[in-house]
Structure 1
Amino acid sequence: MKLIKLTAISAAVLASTAALAADPVIVVDNNDAVVYEAKPVAVAYQAEPAYVYNSDAGIVRNTTGAVFGGTKTFFQTAVNPASVSAEVGTLGYGANIGWSLNEKTELQAGWAGGDVSDIKDDFDVDDINYDIDDADFSNPYLGVQMRPAANWFTVGAGIIVPDNDFEVTASAEGPNFRIDNIDYNAEDVGTLSGTLEHRNDLAPYLTVGFRPNISDRWGVFGEIGAAYMGKTDATVRSSNPTQIVRVTGGDELPVTGAEVARRAESELEDKDWLEWLPIVKLGATYRF
């Protein structure tokens, strides 16, 4: 009888555990039936927020874990936390979307472009000043923003896919165009105008900056740096291509306006300012 009793009790315990005691359990003891009702055990799980704003550090701390931790974690990281930013700078007007892997690392994908002649309207190449008449920029980019000290200081790096075209017009200094310390009479040369474009299909970039978050949703940022665009292809034309040009400062044979344009073109292609394009940008970020 004891064996039957122990067997019945054990079976009841196992059944109640497996089924979370959804149904009452009957145990027979010396012809007496006793009804035991097991209570289901409730376990409360509290979901941790995807990110927490740290007002002291001025950053948003991500709590979703590593991006490669699993399917669920990858999905959480992909959609939350995410941020969108608007920016303006030497690469043009643009926007990007970012995904925070943790409080120190954020992936970014964005685009900047448009007519940057509204932002920068001229530049100097040695002794010639060039007015930017039109600058059609398109700079999609992929990068990573890092916070080495887990605060507002940032270091950015990535790749730009540049498609940038300049239309420029040269301005003479006084009565002459000076190229390689030789003066060419500007009246004889006429107008020097041309186009420039970068040769690189991919341009690595590096920036440093600041990204303080002013609340759990809004932040601002500023960055400075450079992108290696490579050499440029230039085309310069003279409005007086067949005109013989008066030359000062060299024992030159007679040169035409077209030859002066060719020399200005060569000087443009050697200019480091165009090879290393400066990056200066300001913007605002919204995190959702």
Structure 2
Amino acid sequence: MKLIKLTAVSAAILGSTAAMAADPIVVVDDNDTVAYPVAAPAYQYNQDAGIIRNTTGAVVGTTKTIFNTAINPAAVSAEVGSLGYGANIAWSINETTELQAGWAGGDVADLFGGDFDVEDIEYDVDSDFSNPYLGVQMRPAANWFTVGAGVIVPDNDIDINANSKNGEYEIDNVKYDASEVGTLKGSVEHRNDLAPYLTVGFRPNISNNFGVFGEIGAAYLGDVNSSVSASGGTNAIEAENAVNAANRELENEDYLEWLPIVKLGATYRF
């Protein structure tokens, strides 16, 4: 009988996901009463009585709790921003912390003007983003203010086309004749397969179920690999020099290692 009691109590300990109880919990088996310092799910542990009536039920009940939590998220959100258009699902860890899994992507260049400058040369951008992410959203002061952290798995296609000014490309303080060089275009790709991110924001509720949010931050994507090429020019040597200078300048531009995060969205809470 003592072996059965110990086995039952061990199962209750392994099955519980609550913190260890400060006071002993009394396990009642027939007419015997034994006190053990074990943890139990809140819905099965009576704080006043300090008793678990059925240790088998504690194990099964805990499994159901984990399963129900997994299939019943706390909220779903839609978003738009520098990562693209997307959505995420959140699971509540506690009153101030949620685990988020989401995806954002699409043609981000259309959202933000579709060009960027590197030193003295402007590039038109055509993009196709895919940014699945997993992170934690926290409310450190238990109010609207939020802090988010996590990791993005970027798979972003970024095509670029250089614009000439007054018939010239100025790259690394050297001017190249656009007719001799031809068209400069190519792509850039970040080297990191995983990009850690950090954001701050606000998440006010506008009703019992609906809320809005805004976030700003950045993700570190690492160094850039550039593959610019020239076509249609009249001077092959001049074109090669311009291509080498453009690739070198792009790969040395520090700010391209970072992806700014700016997003707005709406949330529905269950």
Q: TM-score normalised to the size of structure 2?
A: 0.73
- The answer for the alignment partner of 1:114 in structure 2 is 106
2:136 maps to which of 136, 144, 162: 144
In structure 2, what is the Cα distance between the partners aligned to 1:194 and 1:237?
6
Q: Is 1:165–1:198's contact at 8 Å kept on the other side of the alignment?
A: no
1:1-288 matches, within 5 Å, as 70-80=62-72, 82-120=74-112, 121-132=114-125, 134-240=126-232, 243=235, 255-288=237-270
Summarize deviations over 1:41-74 as a string: whole Å, max 9, x none.
xxxxxx9xxxxxxxxxxxxxxxxxxxxx943543
Summarize deviations over 1:171-205 as a string: whole Å, max 9, x none.
12333211121111222222111111111111100
Number of matched pairs: 211
Q: Secondary structure at the match of 1:140?
A: strand
The structural deviation recorded for 1:80 is: 4.4
Bigger Rg over Cα: 1
Q: Is 1:241–1:258's contact at 8 Å kept on the other side of the alignment?
A: no
The structural deviation recorded for 1:263 is: 1.1
Bigger mean CA deviation after superposition, 234-243 or 73-82: 73-82
The structural deviation recorded for 1:75 is: 3.8
Question: Partner amino acid for 1:233?
Answer: N
In structure 2, what is the Cα distance between the partners aligned to 1:113 and 1:281?
12
Summarize deviations over 1:227-276 as a string: whole Å, max 9, x none.
000111111111245616xxxxxxxxxx4212211210111112223201
For the aligned residue pairs, the C-alpha RMSD in angstroms reads: 2.0
Q: TM-score normalised to the size of structure 1?
A: 0.69
Q: Is 2:180–2:233's contact at 8 Å kept on the other side of the alignment?
A: no
Q: Is 2:182–2:239's contact at 8 Å kept on the other side of the alignment?
A: yes
In structure 2, what is the Cα distance between the partners aligned to 1:82 and 1:180?
52
Q: Secondary structure at the match of 2:227?
A: strand
In structure 2, what is the Cα distance between the partners aligned to 1:260 and 1:138?
31
In structure 1, what is the Cα distance between the partners aligned to 2:215 and 2:265?
9
Question: Partner amino acid for 1:260?
Answer: A
In structure 2, what is the Cα distance between the partners aligned to 1:158 and 1:165?
22
Q: Is 1:194–1:237's contact at 8 Å kept on the other side of the alignment?
A: yes
Q: Secondary structure at the match of 1:212?
A: coil
Summarize deviations over 1:77-123 as a string: whole Å, max 9, x none.
33445211111111111111001112210100001111112112111
Q: Secondary structure at the match of 1:256?
A: helix
Q: Where in structure 1 are there 5+ consecutive unaligned residues?
A: 1-17, 19-46, 48-68, 245-254
In structure 1, what is the Cα distance between the partners aligned to 2:197 and 2:150?
6
Q: Is 1:240–1:257's contact at 8 Å kept on the other side of the alignment?
A: no
Q: Where in structure 2 are there 5+ consecutive unaligned residues?
A: 1-29, 31-42, 44-60
Q: Is 2:179–2:234's contact at 8 Å kept on the other side of the alignment?
A: no
In structure 1, what is the Cα distance between the partners aligned to 2:258 and 2:73?
34
Q: Secondary structure at the match of 1:174?
A: coil
In structure 1, what is the Cα distance between the partners aligned to 2:206 and 2:95?
16
